[in-house]
Amino acid sequence: MFSGDQISGLFEQLGITHVVTVPDSTVGQWQTAIEQRGNTRVVRVCREGEAWQVAAGLMLGGARPIVLIQCTGLFESGDALRNAVHDWKLPIFSMIGYRSYLNQDTLPGDTCLVFTEPVLDAWKIDYKLITSPSQFPTLAEHYETCRAANRAGAILIAEGKA
Amino acid sequence: MNAKDALAVVHAARDAQDVVITTMTPARDWMTMPQSSLDMVLVPSAMSHATSMGLGVALAQPDRRVIVCNGDGSMLMNLGSLVSIVSADASNVIVIVFDNGTYEVTGSQPVPGAGATDFAMIARGAGFQTVLDFDSLDAWRDGIADALNKNGPTFAVLHVEPVVGLPGPRSPGPAGDRARRFMAALQR
């Protein structure tokens, strides 16, 4: 969908200081470019629940983090998200890989298609779904909109494989 | 070792610029002591994430020490965070685990591996630079300077007695308001 150079440039443009991440086969491909550009630090965590709370700590400390995970990790990290975003009112932004959205060749019948968007709705996360490279400008627009409104937001990146 | 006495040692030794994050039983006891604007009483919490939040604060504020006072049950739920702290080279993080073998705030049910889990060995395996283990209050009083000043990240486990029958910690106020005050204090 997007190259590492596009994403690392976007993060630089948005002033993102830290990307807290557990990779998948799509969003994980961006790590090298992000690190090579050098403006945004990659923070690797062991499970996605950690990512939300590390991002919360970064935000409390004055940094501008983003959480970068797959939708399966979103499912894992519900309580951490709930606490950071809704208890502590921290408007954490995330980019979430949407497994199997473009095709189900790897995982026919993948239930990520059933649960991802309802889970984001349940957690009251304002998200935009990106299904085409032509929607690249939406990433920055949605980030800036959520930032201006001081609310958590997410970009769902359609993926085609696990 | 009495857990509240052990926590009082931390309270007395912390520098005015240190961040102290407490959760679960340590949070309950910490709130009985004089408070600082750099205290983060992590109540309400997503159980187990004090170490993760501490890592985030430490990366954003590399010139401050970030002391995380954690329970053993919480630590067990997020052992991976120890690896994340080391991986991030967060040398300003100090994790203190109060090991009483129980989920005290839920009525003192035993944690998995109570009395058998070697947290110090786990921390060493995760790659912590300094790992300390204390069985008595006197030893902890003598050793806290090492915990705060040796090369980090640092991990200390305190073997404390469980306390039965006390309620868990109550939130000291709306978390969103406390977050804003904490953020402001960190920017001073």
Q: Per-residue pLDDT tens for A3-18?
A: 999 999 999 999 999 9
- Share the mean pLDDT of chain B: 96
Please indicate whether, in this complex, the C-beta atoms of B56 and A56 are within 8 angstroms of each other.
Answer: yes
- The pLDDT tens digits of the residues spanning B89-118 come to 999 999 999 999 999 889 999 999 999 999
Q: What is the pLDDT of residues B114-152, one digit of tens each?
A: 999 999 999 999 999 999 999 999 999 999 999 999 999
**Cα(first)–Cα(last) distance of chain A, in Å?**
14
What are the φ and ψ backbone dihedral angles of B3, each rounded to 5 degrees?
A: -65, -40
Residue A162, pLDDT above cutoff 70: no
Residue B64 phi, psi (nearest 5)? -110, 150
Q: Between the CA atoms of A64, A68, A72 and A78, what dihedral angle is there, to the nearest 10 degrees?
A: 0
Cβ separation B46–A55 shorter than 8 A: no
Does A84 sit within 8 Å of B61, measured CB to CB?
no
User: How far does B74 lie from chain A, in Å, by closest CA?
Assistant: 13
Looking at CA atoms only, how far is residue B51 from chain A in angstroms?
8
Give one DSSP letter per residue of B89-150, joined into a string.
Answer: T-TTEEEEEEE-SEEGGGT-EEPTTTTT--HHHHHHHHT-SEEEEE-SHHHHHHHHHHHHHS
Q: Which of A53, A96, A87 is nearest to B77 (CA)?
A: A53
Give this prediction's pTM: 0.97
Q: Which of A18, A50, A87 sits opposite B175 (nearest CB)?
A: A87
A58 close to B60: Cβ distance less than 8 angstroms: yes
Among A31, A41, A52, A60, most B C-beta atoms within 10 A, so best to mutate, is A60
Mean pLDDT of B49-58: 98
- Arithmetic mean of pLDDT, A91-106: 95
| pLDDT the model gives residue B142 | 98
Q: Which of B36, B39, B29 is nearest to B1 (CA)?
A: B29
Please, are residues B49 and B70 in contact by the beta-carbon 8 Å criterion?
no
Q: Is the pLDDT of residue A161 over 80?
A: no
